[in-house]
Amino acid sequence: MLFIVRIVLLLVLIVSVTLFGIAFCLLNLGSKNRVYHISRVLAQVSRLFGLSVERRIAPESADSPQAVYVANHQNNFDLFTLSAVVPKAMVTVGKSSLRWIPFFGALYWASGNILINRNNRVQAIATIDQVVESMKQTGLSIWMFPEGTRSRGRGWLPFKLGAFHAAVQAGVPIVPIICSTTHQQVKMNRWNNGEVIVEMLAPIDTTGLQESDIIALMETCQKQMHDSQRRLDEELAQRLFTANR
C-alpha cells in the first residue's frame, strides 16, 4: 500500500514541479539561480522516500565564487539527495538524451542546463570549449558527473576528463561532492529508509595547471571522492550499529 501511495504522490509531484518549474524558469530567464531554486524543491522530495539527508559543506566551499563541481552518480535518487548542496549561480552539464525524458527533460532545458552529445567525442570536446567560454562570460559554475552515467551498484565507474579540462581551461577550482552509498537502500514499501550524507569537500586548486596536469588532477580528485564515500559509509554503519545495540 505504501508503495502505491508513494508512486502516486511522486507522479503528482513530478507533474506539478515540472509545470510550475518551467513557468518559473521562463519568467526568470535572466536569473543565474534557476537550477538552485528548482533544486531546493527537489531536495524536499527525499522525505517522500523515507530518506533523511544530512547536508555538509566545507567552509572553504561555502562561498566559492566560481568552480567546476563534480559528484558521484549512483541512481535516480541522486536527483533528490545531491540537490541538497546545489550552490547558487550554477548549471549542470548532462547528456543530450536527457531532453527526451518526459516532463523532466523540458524542465532540465528550461532551467538553463547544458546538453552535450557524449557519443560523439569530437563534438563533446568542442562543447566543453563552449562551456568554458560561457563560464568566462557569465561567471556561472558548472556541475558534472565525471563517471558519465549512473553506476547502479557497479561501484565507481572510471572518470572521464571533461570536467577537469573545463576547470583547467577556465582557471577555476574543482569542488568534489560525495553522496554516501544509496544502492538498494530505498525500499518503497518501507516507511523509514535511513540516512544519507551528502558532503561538499574543500576545493582543489587548479591555479597554474596545464593540459599535461589534467590526468594527475583527475586522479587526485578521484581518490578524494573514493576515500570520502568510504568514510561516510563507515560513519553511517557505525550510527546504525550504535542505534541497534
pLDDT, average across residues 151-164:
87
206-231 residue pLDDT tens: 999 999 999 999 999 999 999 999 99
CATH top-level class for 2-243? alpha beta
Residue matched to cell numbers 568542442: 126
Q: Please give the model's pTM, rounded to 2 decimal places.
A: 0.93
How far apart, in whole angstroms, are the C-alpha atoms of residue 118 and residue 74?
Answer: 18
Q: What's the pLDDT tens digit per position in 93-120?
A: 887 778 888 888 889 989 989 887 766 6
CB < 8 Å & 24+ apart, contacts of 47-50: 48/6, 48/9, 48/10, 48/13, 49/6, 49/77, 49/80, 49/186, 49/188, 49/193, 50/186, 50/190, 50/191, 50/192, 50/193, 50/194
